[in-house]
Structure 1
Amino acid sequence: MPLPLPCLAHNPLFDLLIATIGRNEELDRLFTSLEGQSYKNFRILLADQNPSGHLDDMLARHSGLPITRIVLPPQGVSVARNVLLEQAKADIIVFPDDDCWYAPDTLERVCEMFAAYPSCGALLGVWTSSPNVYASGVAEGIVSRAGLFRLAGTCVQFYRREAVTGIRFDPLLGPGTGLPYGCGEDTDYLLYAHARTEVRRYAKIRVFHPSPKEHQPSPQKVASYAAGRMYLLKKHGFSWLFMLFNVLYPLCLAPLDALRHGRAQGGYRLRMFVERLRNWR
């Protein structure tokens, strides 16, 4: 039974919770896109896990943005986001990646869709690698539990605060923990939200993020991504059949991706298959 939600405020406030480490130019690009938003009622809560002074010059260039900076030791993205969640009081909670950026109307579109679907507590946008690339074949509307695993990273997640009150990120999952589980924190959070509220996806909510097709992750990152995915599936009690599908999926895509995008992308899919199989045991 979905959690009943109160009426959304006429001019809802967004809290954008950004955890960052080691990225300056990318974060600068995100802040530039936030300065260009058609919807202006938002705050930025920034968990800065960098060495002292690393972001100072860049932040000075964006002094007009409503940024609250919280300096933290580098303990991973999940720990940092949980610290920010303690400070988040806005109507809509968002977790932009520090290397993503928004279309000028992203936040405006989120407001429109939450207003159009008052029972929806979580919206998913659609990400592409640049404003010149448009997603095709994206199923819109209500998202199933299994559908949360397709193109639903934190950068496209937008939540009504009441729908996710008390939900926290798993500190074992995600980059920067020192543990083998280098991803899955985003889907883990979304799965808990899905158990409470209606989740919908709409392509008019546009977000941009680098694609692995353009920036191949290292073998170590692939291994950590695979370990995170399989840990997540076991944690949430998915069936062995769904886990088998997750293992075989990159193997099935490998020859097609090699033909469409080159041998490197095919090799990435094969490595993902091998690592998921190894972590399924």
Structure 2
Amino acid sequence: MADTPRLALCVATVGRITELDRLLTSLERQTHAGFHIYLADQNAPGVLDSMLARHASLPLTRILLPSRGVSAARNHLLPLVADEEILVFPDDDCWYAPDTLEQVVAAFRRHPEAGAVLGFWTSSPQAAPPSNVERQLSAAALFSQGGTCVQFYRAQVVKGLRFDSRLGPGTGLPYGCGEDTDYLLEAHKCAPVWRCPSIRVFHPSPDTHVPSDAKIASYAASRMYLLKKHAFPLWFRCANVLYPLCMLPMDALRKGRKAARYRWRMFVERLRHFSS
């Protein structure tokens, strides 16, 4: 790795001006300045112009694309990535602590064998990680710890790897998520993945609203598709179906009726897609 490694931040965005503004503001405050932003703008022409003008000091390359899904947008960005050594896919509604990129570089130095490192995300900048212990993750653990916004890749390891265009929001297909986990699972086949909680990423909490039935169904379809695609054992697939049912009583007591209904719908949908 170079003395001052460069990072490529590939951001796909649509319909989020305020959130993207927050992300770019956090990038202006990074203690590690060696990065370039590659932006796939899926909005109508001109929507982001005035906001991006406020961040003219940032190194940014923008391409305009029709809104055909996050996976397709990221795949369009990848050929633009130049000689950066670390590859990142920030959600357009996440934002970074001032030392996030500095911590990413330090993590890759500590783990030269790693193909990817995962940070810790929270909705509150004041929250501390549950543990500072760094550890290598199994493929199964990536399902619970590998959200897009905390993934950072060694570019050489994932060279040539692309997102599954069937997965993710905006495709019009039943699989409304999972593109990030799929990409991470493919990278894990090439090199180890380490969890490094010192890398802080902020993201709105999903607990603030309950997804619609259509979104729950798309989440379930994506999960079961991924389990089959990557040939996880039958016991693990069954555990994924039963997990929402096991969590239902606890969520009902802690969070109420809506959370319990969410768990029930997720169980039903995962069961429906188990053998499809």
TM-score by length of 2: 0.96
Question: Shift of the alpha carbon at 1:216?
Answer: 2.1
Aligned match of 1:238: 232
Q: In the TM superposition, what whole-angstrom CA distance separates every residue of 1:161-207 from its partner, at most 9, and x where no partner exists?
A: 11101110000000000000001111110011000001100111011
Q: Provide the rounded CA distance (Å) in 1 between the counterparts of 2:40 and 2:215.
A: 23
Question: Shift of the alpha carbon at 1:36?
Answer: 1.1
Q: In the TM superposition, what whole-angstrom CA distance separates every residue of 1:80-133 from its partner, at most 9, and x where no partner exists?
A: 001111111211000000111111110000011111111112000011112123
Q: 2:166 aligns with which of 142, 164, 172?
A: 172
Percent identity, please.
61
Question: Shift of the alpha carbon at 1:265?
Answer: 2.1
Q: Does 1:63 align with 2:50?
A: no
Moved over 4 A (4+): none
- The 3 A distance-change label for structure 1 pair 43 and 180 is same
State the secondary structure of the residue aligned to 1:213. Answer: helix
Q: Provide the rounded CA distance (Å) in 2 between the counterparts of 1:277 and 1:139.
A: 35
Q: 2:246 aligns with which of 252, 255, 259?
A: 252
- Name the Cα RMSD after superposition: 1.3
TM-score by length of 1: 0.94
State the secondary structure of the residue aligned to 2:87. Answer: strand
Q: Provide the rounded CA distance (Å) in 2 between the counterparts of 1:84 and 1:222.
A: 29
Q: Does 1:143 align with 2:137?
A: yes
Q: Does 1:29 align with 2:22?
A: yes
Q: Provide the rounded CA distance (Å) in 2 between the counterparts of 1:134 and 1:180.
A: 36
Aligned match of 1:4: none
Any gaps of 5 or more consecutive residues in structure 1? 1-7
- The 3 A distance-change label for structure 1 pair 138 and 266 is farther
Aligned match of 2:13: 20
Q: Does 1:80 align with 2:73?
A: yes
- Whether contact under 8 Å (1:213, 1:261) holds in the other structure is no
- Whether contact under 8 Å (2:131, 2:197) holds in the other structure is no
Q: Does 1:105 align with 2:99?
A: yes
Q: Provide the rounded CA distance (Å) in 2 between the counterparts of 1:106 and 1:194.
A: 22
Q: In the TM superposition, what whole-angstrom CA distance separates every residue of 1:29-60 from its partner, at most 9, and x where no partner exists?
A: 11111111111111000000011111111111
- Whether contact under 8 Å (2:116, 2:151) holds in the other structure is yes
Q: Provide the rounded CA distance (Å) in 1 between the counterparts of 2:110 and 2:150.
A: 18
State the secondary structure of the residue aligned to 1:19. Answer: strand
Letter in 2 for 1:52: P
Q: In the TM superposition, what whole-angstrom CA distance separates every residue of 1:232-255 from its partner, at most 9, and x where no partner exists?
A: 111111111111111111111122
Aligned match of 2:111: 117
Q: Provide the rounded CA distance (Å) in 2 between the counterparts of 1:39 and 1:256.
A: 42
Any gaps of 5 or more consecutive residues in structure 2? none
Question: Shift of the alpha carbon at 1:262?
Answer: 2.8
Letter in 2 for 1:210: P
